[in-house]
Structure 1
Amino acid sequence: MGSHKAEHNGKINIAIDGPAGAGKSTVARMVAKALSYVYVDTGAMYRAVTWYMIKQGIKPEQVDLVLEKAKELNIELVPEETGQRVFLNGQDVTHEIRSIEVNGLVSRYAKIEGLRKMLVQMQRQMALRKGVVMDGRDIGTTVLPQAEVKIFMTATVKERALRRFKEMKDAEGITLEQLEHDIAERDRQDEQREISPLRRADDAIVLDTTRLTIDEVVDRIVSYCTIHMDGEK
């Protein structure tokens, strides 16, 4: 784990990384709630940008235009009892950013180096006060390399597809087989990406969640954090 001592009221920062469908955002949100920390959903930030670009008819290949338009975006993450609402320039886009269309394109926008730099800057600002739980593909390696606790969550492709399938049960016409294929392809894209690829930080704890319930995963992560904080006192 990181060697930086916890500051700011004894709070620490927690980085949760892992591949698509590992359950990172659900777990990160519950860990944040258990510790009374702030949850920063980095994936939602990329999704919000993707949704906006689709609406504007700007393709991921139009890099200069993407970067120009991204400067005009104000993304707010507002926690509430049932989870987190995502606002883009004041508009609530929480549900819109979970569409199949956004799912299919978010990886391609996320590859744009300039866009990643912009969003990473925003994410680091959010973490300055400590007491932040952040999840994504490159939090422990790129965004918050000094996070005191780093978790790398994983699960089999089959299990991750099943979880995503249950999540998207209202989506018409998507099959479990298609999701398995999509997730395996997403893994390949994320691992081979030149900019901040998906990889485990050297000091991250690997947590295979294939046979664990969400509550068990949350309990384990909270206990890692408690052990770390007790050790820092």
Structure 2
Amino acid sequence: MSEASKKPVIAIDGPSGSGKSTVSKTLATALESAYLDTGSMYRAATYAVIQAGVDTSDADQVVKTATGADLKFGTKPEDPFTVVGGEDASAAIRSEEVTAAVSAVASQPAVRENLIKMQRGIIAKAKSGIVVEGRDIAEVVAPDADLKVYLTADPAERARRRAAETDGDESSTQASIDKRDKADSKTTRPLEAPEGSHVIDSTELPIVEVVAKILALLNNRNIDG
């Protein structure tokens, strides 16, 4: 495939509740591209650890179980399934138990190294281009992405959105997001836009407008290039 006809790799970064997943899936659909939620990969590894009955404080067993797990991921934006050990775990990886344990599993360097290798492999095979979302995508996983976007939102709005998704309480959801942000900052980086990223504040923007902004950035890049 020539450089001119190469389909773009788009990295969508940002904190929890900023709208990354919805925006990324909508964008991938509009571009007829593949889609990858790297957060679901860490959740899948965590689910494998929990299913094996491993204590997340046992680093050696966590690494052994997480890196040895049979994980498969769908890259169609309309069906981004997650399979763990032959089981469809798409819903199970979103459980509170997994959410509470994922930072502990993701903090293991060997686990991150293994999943980053998988992520890069998936990106390389995406002939139709790919929209990749998650923490540290633009800096670590795909530093050569054609377009990097850092999606953010007001903390209260992030909590409201997440509470609506999970049918939870906004106050407790805010506390959960704050705790997750602090934990993620220890395993990836502080909550700030990577160099070369275009920052979009989605606080008062509907999804369609956020996607339109990203498409405009992509089109401008193509024109300028």
TM-score of the pair, normalised by structure 1: 0.89
Aligned residue type for 1:176: E
Match of 2:30 in 1: 34
Match of 2:68 in 1: 72
**What is the CA-CA distance between 1:106 and the residue it aligns to?**
1.2
Seen in structure 2, the aligned counterparts of structure 1 residues 38 and 95 have a Cα distance that, compared at 3 Å, is: same
Match of 1:110 in 2: 106
Q: Mean alpha-carbon deviation: is it higher for 137-146 or for 48-57?
A: 48-57
**What is the CA-CA distance between 1:161 and the residue it aligns to?**
0.8
Secondary structure in structure 2 of the residue aligned to 1:7: coil
Match of 1:185 in 2: 179
> 4+ runs of 1 displaced by more than 6 Å?
none
TM-score of the pair, normalised by structure 2: 0.92
* Cα distance between partner residues in 1 of 2:223 and 2:62: 45
CA contact (8 A) 1:10 1:229 kept: no
* Cα distance between partner residues in 2 of 1:81 and 1:187: 26
**What is the CA-CA distance between 1:135 and the residue it aligns to?**
0.7
Q: 1:111-130 counterparts in 2 under 5 A?
A: 111-129=107-125
Match of 2:139 in 1: 141
CA contact (8 A) 1:29 1:83 kept: no
Match of 1:176 in 2: 170
Match of 1:60 in 2: 56
Seen in structure 2, the aligned counterparts of structure 1 residues 133 and 82 have a Cα distance that, compared at 3 Å, is: closer
CA contact (8 A) 2:43 2:102 kept: yes
Corresponding residue pairs, total: 221
Aligned residue type for 2:217: Y
Could you say what the CA RMSD is over the residues aligned between the two structures, in angstroms? 1.8
Provide structure 1 residue ranges, at least 5 long, that are not aligned to the other structure. 1-5
Seen in structure 2, the aligned counterparts of structure 1 residues 104 and 8 have a Cα distance that, compared at 3 Å, is: farther
Q: 1:207-226 counterparts in 2 under 5 A?
A: 207-226=200-219
Deviation per residue, 1:122-178 (Å, 9 max, x gap): 001111245111111100011111111000111111101111111112xxxx42110
* Cα distance between partner residues in 2 of 1:39 and 1:222: 15
Secondary structure in structure 1 of the residue aligned to 2:24: helix
* Cα distance between partner residues in 2 of 1:155 and 1:203: 19
Seen in structure 2, the aligned counterparts of structure 1 residues 223 and 74 have a Cα distance that, compared at 3 Å, is: farther
Deviation per residue, 1:159-209 (Å, 9 max, x gap): 01111111112xxxx421100111112112222x1x432442110011111
**What is the CA-CA distance between 1:8 and the residue it aligns to?**
7.5
**Are 1:98 and 2:91 counterparts?**
no
* Cα distance between partner residues in 2 of 1:145 and 1:8: 20
**What is the CA-CA distance between 1:229 and the residue it aligns to?**
2.3
* Cα distance between partner residues in 1 of 2:219 and 2:71: 31
* Cα distance between partner residues in 2 of 1:43 and 1:156: 21
Match of 2:20 in 1: 24
Deviation per residue, 1:21-48 (Å, 9 max, x gap): 1111111111111111110110111111
* Cα distance between partner residues in 2 of 1:91 and 1:200: 36
* Cα distance between partner residues in 1 of 2:156 and 2:67: 38
